Structure 1
Amino acid sequence: MNRNTHLIVGIAIALLLIISSACSSANKEPNNTSAASGDSSKPSEGASDKQRVIQTLKGDISIPTDPQRIIGLSVVYPEFLYALGVVPVAVQNYHEEFPAYIKEAMKDTLKMGIAKTPNFELILASTPDLIIAPTWWADKDYDQLSKIAPTVLLPQRDDWRDELRDIAEVLGKQDKAEQVIQDLKRKEAEAKEKLHTLVGDETVMYMMIMEKDLIIYGENIDRGSFIHKTLGLKPVKDFPQSELSVAISLEKIPEYNPDHIILQLNNEDNAEVKNRYKELMDSSLWKNMTAVKNNQVHIMGGNEWFNLGMSPLADINAIDDVVHTFENNKK
């Protein structure tokens, strides 16, 4: 009996050892298969948290999941980025200073000017971890830019809302972009209602002083559409509807004789523009216009409205300017 018992125990132990060995081999097999299939070349779990692959006009590229040092190569990209809660480290700029509504936020942002060829040395010195640029501007420089940092080229858009959405998709901020768009839409509706209360059916002429010309904008061009359609301010009735804008002489301005004039200097720092403005102000033709005599000339900053119709922040700023000046002139 004892011998039989020992034999049975021995056989049981042997079977357990065989089963254990088989299980051990089975557990190791997936790892061997992974290495053979090339999975070992993929980023580790930690690395994939820091990088993600996106589809771009130049194919799939890997970008940081949470980029901290972004460069925007378009004069309007600083505003798109800031609207999405991002302050870029460097940007291109048209005017020497940023508009007032982003100046403080961008105080540490490097301004690189608007040269057709980017300043690669400044871009490299900014140590970006992501570069975003419109393809129409930066396609020729893509190879050099992509050697500095992952570079995403975005398509040309007719509507700034689509540009904002494109950038938001790169940054994973789609919800923020839609919030910005909807907030602006509500602000436009509120401003239109308030201005109707303030102005009613009184006519408004939107005029800009250029170096060589005086320009009146109609309602079918971006700037004029903002004033006359978005904000609902009634245009002068004799403006030729087939024209986007009209260059007009000083002698012809009184023929329109609006109730209100929105007036801008195209470049407040330009000497010729300043001289033309002074000439206008000193003219008896100007002084005898209804809007001038009733103190209903609303002067807006030209540089501050540079991106009007191209950026939500520029539009918000312009809405505030218009509502504020009409409110003050009614007091």
Structure 2
Amino acid sequence: MKKQRSLITGLVILLFVMLITACGAENEGNLTGNAGNSAGKADHTGEEAAAVDTQHVVSTLKGDISIPTEPKRVIGLSVVYPELLYALGVVPIAIQNYHQDFPSYLKEPFKDTIKMGIAQTPNFEAILASNPDLIIAPSWWSDKDYDQLSKIAPTVLLPQRDDWRDELRDIAKVLGKVEQADEVIQDLQAKETEAKEKLDSLVGDETVMYMMIMAKEIVIYGENIDRGSFIHKKLGLKPIDDYPQSELSISISLEKIPEYNPDHIILQLDDESNEEVQNRYEEMRDSSLWKNMTAVKKDQIHIMGGKEWFSLGMSPLADLHAIEDVLDAFEK
């Protein structure tokens, strides 16, 4: 009997141990599973947080939209926006271009940038193929195309501005580069001031006329238009007498040019490779009216290239390049 009780007692103890072990294993499994689920939730939450961190909301003319915080593939629609983007350290992946070749100051950084040409309607096929993650465009140029553009990538329309500095600040605000925009503007102002002082000592009160030879016409610019303001106000070169102040620019015939007779002429060829432009320039140079002008007799004709000065007065990069050109020309 004692032997039987001992056996039963032993079996009970064994069953009790097995039960405890099983419960322990189950609890461990539950703990492990819960820990795994918690880890999974933490990872998932981290992924969501990371995703949120890569986007931010900006207010636009079309309402609030979500854009990448650090976009890698940006398109700036309008001929000047790519230069403004690059001034902020962003190389656009595709651009609208007026000239076949980039100006010298963009040739190397834009060597891999796609050229889409320029037309009243953007090249949607090329834009789509370039796979942008952000499109920035002025409203005056792209409002009509906004729906199509926004289907390709988040598209920010910016207001029309009269001054490229405001355009630069608008773009910088979208990209989170406001301080960099201010630095660009301040750096240019410093260089303009320095150049103005040098030119004052070189040129003094001698008059300067800024002229462009185009395929169909000859144009002279006053001091109240972007490029004319850069020459006459920013750099302080004295404009010709009797220029009509109500006119931003004047289309002028060869016969009328001698009436102004400046001491210096800054002469820009709209497109050096254009045969019509070259023919018009040669016709002007061969004219006795041209040869008898003061600037020609003094050999004070300063020739500037078309694509190099295309964005003059509309881009800090173009203005910086032009400062170097003008200083070089007048120092010689």
TM-score strictly above 0.5: yes
- What is residue 249 of structure 1 aligned with on the other side? 253
Measure how far apart 1:148 and its partner are: 1.7
Q: Can you list the C-alpha shifts for 1:155-214, whole angstroms capped at 9, x where unaligned?
A: 111111111111101110000001111111111111110100111111111112223332
Q: Do residues 84 (structure 1) and 88 (structure 2) align?
A: yes
- What is residue 210 of structure 2 aligned with on the other side? 206
Which deviates the most, 209-218 or 157-166?
Answer: 209-218
Contact 2:74 / 2:136 at 8 angstroms: preserved in 1? yes
Measure how far apart 1:237 and its partner are: 1.6
Q: Which amino acid aligns with 1:173?
A: K
Report the 3-state secondary structure (helix = DSSP H, G, I; strand = E; otherwise coil) of the residue aligned with 2:308: helix
CA distance in 1, matches of 2:148, 2:211: 43
- What is residue 20 of structure 2 aligned with on the other side? none
Measure how far apart 1:282 and its partner are: 1.2
Q: Can you list the C-alpha shifts for 1:273-331, whole angstroms capped at 9, x where unaligned?
A: 21110011112222222211221110011222111111111111111111111112xxx
CA distance in 2, matches of 1:146, 1:43: 26
Task: Note closer, same or farther for the CA distance 1:124–1:271 as it changes in structure 2 (3 Å cut).
Answer: same
- What is residue 94 of structure 1 aligned with on the other side? 98
Q: Can you list the C-alpha shifts for 1:100-139, whole angstroms capped at 9, x where unaligned?
A: 1111110100111112222222222211111111122222
- What is residue 159 of structure 2 aligned with on the other side? 155
Measure how far apart 1:269 and its partner are: 2.3
Residues 192-231 of structure 1 aligned to structure 2 (within 5 Å) = 192-231=196-235
- What is residue 77 of structure 2 aligned with on the other side? 73
CA distance in 2, matches of 1:66, 1:241: 46
Residues 2-41 of structure 1 aligned to structure 2 (within 5 Å) = none
The alignment-based identity, stated in percent, is 75
Structure 2 unpaired stretches of 5+: 1-43
Q: Can you list the C-alpha shifts for 1:25-63, whole angstroms capped at 9, x where unaligned?
A: xxxxxxxxxxxxxxx999832222211122212222111
CA distance in 1, matches of 2:62, 2:251: 43
Report the 3-state secondary structure (helix = DSSP H, G, I; strand = E; otherwise coil) of the residue aligned with 1:304: coil
CA distance in 2, matches of 1:199, 1:77: 34
Q: Do residues 286 (structure 1) and 295 (structure 2) align?
A: no
- What is residue 317 of structure 1 aligned with on the other side? 321
Task: Note closer, same or farther for the CA distance 1:136–1:193 as it changes in structure 2 (3 Å cut).
Answer: same
Alignment: residue pair count: 289
CA distance in 1, matches of 2:76, 2:263: 42
- What is residue 103 of structure 1 aligned with on the other side? 107
Contact 2:229 / 2:313 at 8 angstroms: preserved in 1? no
Q: Which amino acid aligns with 2:59?
A: Q
Larger radius of gyration: 2
- What is residue 15 of structure 1 aligned with on the other side? none
Contact 2:213 / 2:277 at 8 angstroms: preserved in 1? yes
CA distance in 1, matches of 2:312, 2:49: 44
Q: Do residues 63 (structure 1) and 67 (structure 2) align?
A: yes
- What is residue 58 of structure 2 aligned with on the other side? 54
Report the 3-state secondary structure (helix = DSSP H, G, I; strand = E; otherwise coil) of the residue aligned with 1:281: helix
* TM-score for the superposition, normalised by structure 1: 0.83
* TM-score for the superposition, normalised by structure 2: 0.82
- What is residue 114 of structure 1 aligned with on the other side? 118
Q: Which amino acid aligns with 1:153?
A: L
Task: Note closer, same or farther for the CA distance 1:201–1:144 as it changes in structure 2 (3 Å cut).
Answer: same
Report the 3-state secondary structure (helix = DSSP H, G, I; strand = E; otherwise coil) of the residue aligned with 1:185: helix
Structure 1 unpaired stretches of 5+: 1-39
CA distance in 2, matches of 1:279, 1:237: 26
Report the 3-state secondary structure (helix = DSSP H, G, I; strand = E; otherwise coil) of the residue aligned with 1:303: coil
Which deviates the most, 165-174 or 270-279?
Answer: 270-279
- What is residue 33 of structure 1 aligned with on the other side? none
Report the 3-state secondary structure (helix = DSSP H, G, I; strand = E; otherwise coil) of the residue aligned with 1:223: helix
Contact 2:103 / 2:307 at 8 angstroms: preserved in 1? yes
Report the 3-state secondary structure (helix = DSSP H, G, I; strand = E; otherwise coil) of the residue aligned with 2:199: helix
- What is residue 272 of structure 1 aligned with on the other side? 276
Q: Do residues 140 (structure 1) and 144 (structure 2) align?
A: yes
Q: Can you list the C-alpha shifts for 1:229-256, whole angstroms capped at 9, x where unaligned?
A: 1111111223233332233332332232
